[in-house]
Amino acid sequence: MDKPPLSRLKMLDMSVANMGSGVAFALVQGNMARIFQTLGADLDRLPILMIAGPVTGLLVQPLVGHFSDSTWLRLGPLSGRRRPYFMVGALAAAALAGMSFASSLIVAVSCYWLLDIALNVVIEPFRAFVGDMVPAAQRAQGLAINAGLGCIGAVVGFMLPFLLAHLHIANHAAHGDVPASVRLALLLAGGILLAGVGWTVWRIREFSPEEQARFAGHVEANEPPHTRCAMAQIAFDLRHMPQSMRRLAVIHFFTWFALFIMWPFMTPVVTQYAFHATDPASAAYNRGADFVGLLYAAFNVTTAIFGVLALPAIARRFGTGRTHALCLGVGVAVPRQHQWHRFEVVI
């Protein structure tokens, strides 16, 4: 017995929370280096200050995945496997609000850690949520809508400070003060996150364990044995990981290695070499930091368009391995000496 089909409206309702978390994640990703430098962080300390992302992901995601798979939290009308974890978005919104009023580096770093933990708890169950709720025939459509709204949220989050600056909200401030446009963007992102999570939790009722069992029809023969110890179960899953996923893990390691170099240094590099500014309190630096948000937004739009329109056809023609190698080759072939003055625009 398969799950009942969902209307597009229901699939949109299911994915609104992902859009809200996309706004929060993108805004923080694009502006943490700016905030830390504004509060006095040296350039060479940015990577260690931004280590919260990979560390919390490494620790929180496996645990949330395990517990959301194996538990049903009974919270009255808010009961479910995944929805209770979405409500941790309230904690993320509080962290965003705290970060907007941070006046010292230690407060900003503490809020960043809290925010990353909360966002990992919110984001991790989303793909499984789609699998829980959507019948097999609609799964690709459900995942596409979920990813599409997440991408829209990311673009909005990256562009928020730039848009607010163009609404004449000050995008630079005195030394040690986060600009008003960034403060307001953090508060707006928290509000959007709360609204998105609240909408999904209110509009979507999860199937009960009994309903899920009826839909499954039987227990898969290769299903791992149940264990009450989360770490033992995670270790079991790692030992029995399919070979294709092991190869993918190696690929992801080197991909994320590069991304976590880019994220701490994107803002300092663009502001210094394209806008000729190193003082976080200067107008030129903050114009450059706003421009970094535009670059990240363009990155997300380009990735989404290429991924939907071109990548599947290329992969079908050349195979996934050769396609991945081709994409890496194109990235490496980009000239090493960028002519930053071509990116200088009137913002």
| Token digits of residue 110 | 């503490």
CA distance 20 to 330: 32
Q: Where are the beta strands (DSSP E) in the chain?
A: none
**What does each of the 347 residues of the chain score in pLDDT, given as a tens digit?**
678 888 889 889 988 988 999 999 999 999 999 999 999 999 999 999 999 888 888 888 888 887 777 777 777 777 788 888 888 878 888 888 888 888 899 999 999 998 888 888 888 887 788 888 888 888 778 888 888 888 999 999 999 999 999 999 999 888 889 999 999 999 999 999 999 988 988 888 888 777 777 877 644 434 444 545 777 777 777 788 888 788 878 877 877 777 888 889 999 999 999 999 999 999 999 999 999 999 999 988 888 888 777 877 888 888 877 888 888 787 777 655 444 444 444 44
Q: What is the residue-wise DSSP string for 71-108?
A: --B--GGG-BSSHHHHTTHHHHHHHHHHHHT--SHHHH
Give the SS3 label for residue 66.
helix
pTM above 0.85, yes or no: no
Count CB-CB contacts under 10 A for residue 30.
28
CA distance 26 to 20: 10
CATH class of this structure's domain 8-217+225-343: mainly alpha
Rounded (to 5) percent helix, strand, coil in the chain: 75, 0, 25
Handedness of CA 74, 76, 81, 84 (dihedral sign): negative
